[in-house]
């Protein structure tokens, strides 16, 4: 009976090269064990129906949705890190629905383990709807390293680096973890801006305001870390790109000039 080789020189054991990674990237390996479900094709088919048929109808019945996708987003293959501002509970479904399916079908969203994974029905919902994985907020580090293992297994991830939903409508500082992951594994970042999510469903509301308020999702040109660029510098560049997408498209989507242009300078 044949056995699998553990020799890393064996071509069958080498990581597959990531088409989206830079030349210095590590590539990615076939998912194994519990990671297999995150790249399951039959699960992605179920998710397509949930996200793009059932839930899309619910979203469109309650908000007026606009989606703008940079043409180079469609050329990304393999794992990537999507980085977006976090305005409301509308964000994850709108990002998942707006991203082209070729890039979105295995997109995995990190969610708070203490809120979404303790009760079975919440866990079931986020796993099937968003291909979600747990993130520790209590310092336990029980799920530490999951984001990196997913990327190394070829699974793209969605990160909200503000660490929580906005409470003022302004884009807050970004924590550096997403930049460290992307540069460390060697995959691109797709910057994305949610516009109008805070106005439509501010923190504390469980449902959008009446009148189908406008909400937009803008996916920007993928970027990669530059040679010699520190994690902090890379994260700052990513944040500036997200802020730029937000400012450039705010009036187009909401019909008024942004009251928070240059948000980082105001937060300084």
Residue 89 confidence (pLDDT):
84
pLDDT exceeds cutoff 60 at 37 = yes
Mean pLDDT of the region 5-31: 48
Q: Is residue 27 part of a domain?
A: no
pLDDT exceeds cutoff 60 at 249 = yes
Q: Is residue 4 part of a domain?
A: no
Between 48 and 143, where is the model more confident?
Answer: 48
Give the integer Cα–Cα distance in Å for 175 and 184.
15
pLDDT exceeds cutoff 70 at 121 = yes
Residue 24 confidence (pLDDT):
39
Q: Structural domain of residue 226, as residue ranges?
A: 33-267
Between 89 and 132, where is the model more confident?
Answer: 132
Q: Is residue 145 part of a domain?
A: yes
Q: Is residue 12 part of a domain?
A: no
Q: Is residue 1 part of a domain?
A: no
**Tens digit of pLDDT for each residue in 150-170?**
999 999 999 999 877 877 788
**Tens digit of pLDDT for each residue in 174-193?**
999 999 999 999 999 999 99
Q: Is residue 18 part of a domain?
A: no
Q: Does residue 180 contact residue 231 with C-beta atoms inside 8 Å?
A: yes
pTM of the model: 0.83
Q: Is residue 5 part of a domain?
A: no
CATH code of residue 87: 3.40.1130.10
Number of independent structural domains in the chain: 1
Q: Is residue 15 part of a domain?
A: no
């Amino acid at each position: 009976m044949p056995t699998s080789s553990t020799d890393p020189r064996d071509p069958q054991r080498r990581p597959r090269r990531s088409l989206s990674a830079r030349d210095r990237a590590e590539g990615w390996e076939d998912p194994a064990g519990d990671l297999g479900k995150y790249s399951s094709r039959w699960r992605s088919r179920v998710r397509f129906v949930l996200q793009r048929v059932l839930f899309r109808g619910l979203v469109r019945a309650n908000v007026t949705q606009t989606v703008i996708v940079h043409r180079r987003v469609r050329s990304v293959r393999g794992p990537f890190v999507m980085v977006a501002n976090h305005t409301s509970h509308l964000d994850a479904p709108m990002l998942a629905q707006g991203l082209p399916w070729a890039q979105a079908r295995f997109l995995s969203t990190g969610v708070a383990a203490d809120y979404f994974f303790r009760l079975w029905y919440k866990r079931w919902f986020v796993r099937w709807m968003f291909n979600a994985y747990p993130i520790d907020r209590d310092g336990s580090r029980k799920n530490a390293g999951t984001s990196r293992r997913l990327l190394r297994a070829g699974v793209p991830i969605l990160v909200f680096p503000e660490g929580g939903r906005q409470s003022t409508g302004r884009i807050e500082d970004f924590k550096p973890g997403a930049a460290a992951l992307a540069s460390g594994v060697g995959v691109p970042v797709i910057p994305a801006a949610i516009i109008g999510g805070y106005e439509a469903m501010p923190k504390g509301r469980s449902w959008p305001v009446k009148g189908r308020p406008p909400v937009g999702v803008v996916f920007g040109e993928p970027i990669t870390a530059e040679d010699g660029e520190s994690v902090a510098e890379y994260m700052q560049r990513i944040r500036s790109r997200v802020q730029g997408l937000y400012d450039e498209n705010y009036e187009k989507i909401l019909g008024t000039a942004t009251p928070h242009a240059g948000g980082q300078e105001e937060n300084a």
